[in-house]
Structure 1
């Protein structure tokens, strides 16, 4: 009998030594763990906030695509931001990924302290047919 849970990886991106996958797929549903803006080339979180946000969105796309879907399958995104000042960076990437006003996922944003130099942390849920 096969495993019900399929682990989804993002090449070059992990949660350090913590035993946490980047995402999982169970049936048609895909759930991310915390998606951060780690640069897979340097294995560091960039100091540039715009680069962090772009990388986090890129990793979100990779998770859903590696699960067999596309960004069209993303239904809910929760953003944790270190400060409200980063919201315009998120809006820019959001509109680039989801350009149609009438075809965007549900979304919620929380402002909270984030560790390790992070300014963004994403949680995503998708449903793949």
Structure 2
């Protein structure tokens, strides 16, 4: 039996390519790109703020599917089409991690994303205890 386990999340996908939403190896949980995709419709909203809100909601879903919580997050990396997305990211960041003494590392990288994408996120978490 492999120590590595693929983590799938209902409603989230990478367009039919054989890539899981995350991978768990022991206490380490690493995501693939988490998008601002509506898990019910599969649509990506045109609005940056709406995509960012969905990214954060989807990050929670990926963490849960991998047996983690936001307390286990060590780092989030955001890939953005435009740095102006940082304002929307900051709003949700502060809501998800309100304690300034207990926030994960974060990196925001501007880049050339596919046309419909304003933001995507990668998660690195270390699960110190088993959660159901």
Q: TM-score, normalised by structure 2?
A: 0.93
Aligned counterpart, 2:122: 123
2:81 paired with 1:107: no
Give the Cα–Cα distance (whole angstroms) in 2 for the partners of residues 39 and 5 of structure 1.
28
2:92 paired with 1:87: no
Q: Give matches, 1:1-129, under 5 Å.
A: 2-129=1-128
Shift of 1:84: 0.9
RMSD: 0.9
* Structure 1 outlier segments of 4+, above 4 Å: none
SS at match of 1:59: helix
Shift of 1:74: 0.3
Count of aligned pairs = 128
Shift of 1:45: 0.8
Shift of 1:41: 1.7
Give the Cα–Cα distance (whole angstroms) in 1 for the partners of residues 15 and 120 of structure 2.
15
Shift of 1:119: 0.5
Q: TM-score, normalised by structure 1?
A: 0.95
Shift of 1:3: 2.4
Give the Cα–Cα distance (whole angstroms) in 2 for the partners of residues 116 and 14 of structure 1.
17
Give the Cα–Cα distance (whole angstroms) in 1 for the partners of residues 14 and 56 of structure 2.
16
